[in-house]
C-alpha cells in the first residue's frame, strides 16, 4: 500500500472550484488515471463531496473511473468514503440509506467507511448509535474496514474501545495535519494514541490548502473569498517555512509539495492531498520515491514550531 493517498473533495464542489461538467470531468478522469499510474492506491472521498444538484458527484465520478480499471488494478486500490452524521441520520440504522447510496455510486468498490466528524460535543448519543450501526454492516461483510475523522485523543480512545468490545479493529482516523496544523500539541497527542493502539493516521489538508506549495516571497490569489481571507492572513508569516521547504526541494530535485508530504510521512502519517490535474497527481506520486533525512525533518519541525499564524481549526474536531 502506498504511503501517500489522495482525496477527491474538490471533485464534488463545482461552485467552489468553477468546474464545468463534460470538460472538467474528462480532466478529472485523466487526473485519476495519472494518480493510479503513479502508485497512489488509497483514495478518500465522502458522500457530502457534492451536495444539492451535485449530489454525491465525487463518489459518482470515482465509481465511474474505477469501473474502467482492469480487475487486478481495481483490487489493488483501497477506496474509503466518509458518511456525514447529519442531524436527520438518527438511530442505529441512521447510516443505512447513506451507506447503500454511496456503495451504489462507487459501483460496489467500497473498502473503508468512516464517520465524517464527531458529534460528541453536541449529540454524543447520535454518534454512538451510528457507529454501532456501521459495526452491524461491517459484521455482515458489506465492507472491510472502519475509520473515523476529526476526533481528538479522548474521543479516539473511546471509539477504539467501543469497537474493540465487538472485536472490530479501528483502522484509521483523519485529522488536519501539516506543517501549519492549527493545534500541533493535540496532533502530537493523537499521534501517540494512534501509535499505542495501532491506528493509521490519515493527514488531510497536508499542503494547507496549497500554501506550502507557494515559493517563498510569492503569494497567490484564490478564487473564493474564504480562501483569499485565509491566504492573506497566513502567507506573510510563512516565508521562513517556505524558504526551508524550497531549500530541501532543491537539494532533492523535487517540489515543495513533495517535501511537505514527506514531512507528514516522517511523522508516521499517510497524507491524502486533494488532486485536480494529472501533473499534480504525478508530482505527488514522486514523493513516494524518497524520504527526508533526520536533519531535514528537524529543520522543518523547528520552522513549523516557530510559525505562529496557522490554519484555522476545524469546528467539528472533538476533544
Question: In a 3-state reduction of DSSP, which class is residue 309?
Answer: coil
Q: Which residues contact 227 (CB under 8 A, 6 or more apart)?
A: 209
Choose the catalytic residue: 49, 95, 138, 204. Answer: 49
Task: Find the distance separating the first CA and the last CA of the chain, reported in whole Å.
Answer: 30
- DSSP reduced 3-state for 147: strand
Place of cell 509539495: 257
DSSP state of 271: E
Sheet holding 170-176, edge to edge: 6-7, 42-44, 78-83, 112-115, 145-149, 170-176, 200-204, 270-271
Q: 3-class DSSP state for residue 19?
A: coil
Q: What is the largest CA-CA distance in the chain?
A: 55
CA 161 to chain centre: 24
Query: In this structure, what C-alpha cell is assigned to residue 268?
Result: 508516521
Contact 234, 211 (CB under 8 A): yes
Question: Cα–Cα distance between 197 and 252 in angstroms, integer?
Answer: 34
State the virtual CA torsion across 90, 14, 28, 235 in degrees, nearest 10.
-100
* 172-186 core/surface letters (b: 16 or more CB in 10 A; e: else): bbbbbbbbbbebbeb
Task: Determine whether 34 is exposed, middle or buried from the number of CB atoms within 10 Å of its CB (0-12, 13-18, 19+).
Answer: buried
Closest CA to 308 of 222, 239, 227, 221: 239
* 49 catalytic per annotation: yes
User: Could you give the residue numbers annotated as active site?
Assistant: 49
Amino acid at each position: 500500500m502506498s504511503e501517500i493517498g489522495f482525496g477527491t473533495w474538490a471533485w464534488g464542489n463545482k461552485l467552489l472550484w468553477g468546474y464545468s461538467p463534460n470538460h472538467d470531468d474528462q480532466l478529472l478522469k485523466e487526473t485519476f488515471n495519472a494518480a493510479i499510474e503513479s502508485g497512489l492506491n488509497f483514495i478518500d472521498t465522502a458522500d457530502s463531496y457534492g451536495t444539492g444538484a451535485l449530489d454525491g458527484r465525487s463518489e459518482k465520478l470515482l465509481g465511474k473511473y474505477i469501473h474502467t480499471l482492469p480487475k487486478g488494478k481495481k483490487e489493488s486500490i483501497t477506496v474509503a468514503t466518509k458518511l456525514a452524521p447529519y442531524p436527520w441520520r438518527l438511530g442505529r440504522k441512521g447510516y443505512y440509506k447513506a451507506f447503500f447510496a454511496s456503495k451504489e455510486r462507487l459501483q460496489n468498490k467500497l473498502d473503508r467507511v468512516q464517520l465524517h466528524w464527531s458529534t460528541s460535543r453536541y449529540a454524543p448519543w447520535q454518534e454512538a448509535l451510528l457507529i454501532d450501526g456501521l459495526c452491524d454492516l461491517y459484521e455482515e461483510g458489506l465492507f472491510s474496514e472502519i475509520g473515523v475523522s476529526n476526533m481528538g485523543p479522548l474521543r479516539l480512545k473511546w471509539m477504539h474501545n467501543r469497537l474493540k468490545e465487538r472485536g472490530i479493529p479501528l483502522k484509521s482516523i483523519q485529522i488536519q495535519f501539516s506543517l501549519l496544523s492549527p493545534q500541533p500539541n493535540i496532533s502530537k497527542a493523537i499521534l501517540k494514541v494512534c501509535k499505542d493502539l495501532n491506528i493509521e493516521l490519515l493527514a488531510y489538508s497536508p499542503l494547507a490548502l496549497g500554501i506550502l506549495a507557494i515559493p517563498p516571497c510569492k503569494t497567490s490569489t484564490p478564487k473564493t473569498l474564504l480562501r483569499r481571507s485565509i491566504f492573506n492572513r497566513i502567507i506573510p508569516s510563512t516565508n521562513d517555512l517556505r524558504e526551508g521547504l524550497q531549500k530541501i526541494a532543491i537539494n532533492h530535485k523535487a517540489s515543495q509539495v513533495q517535501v511537505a508530504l514527506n514531512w507528514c510521512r516522517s511523522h508516521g502519517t499517510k497524507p491524502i492531498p486533494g488532486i485536480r490535474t494529472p501533473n499534480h497527481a504525478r508530482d505527488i506520486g514522486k514523493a513516494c520515491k524518497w524520504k527526508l533525512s533526520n536533519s531535514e525533518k528537524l529543520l522543518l519541525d523547528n520552522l513549523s514550531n516557530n510559525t505562529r499564524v496557522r490554519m484555522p481549526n476545524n469546528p467539528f474536531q472533538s476533544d
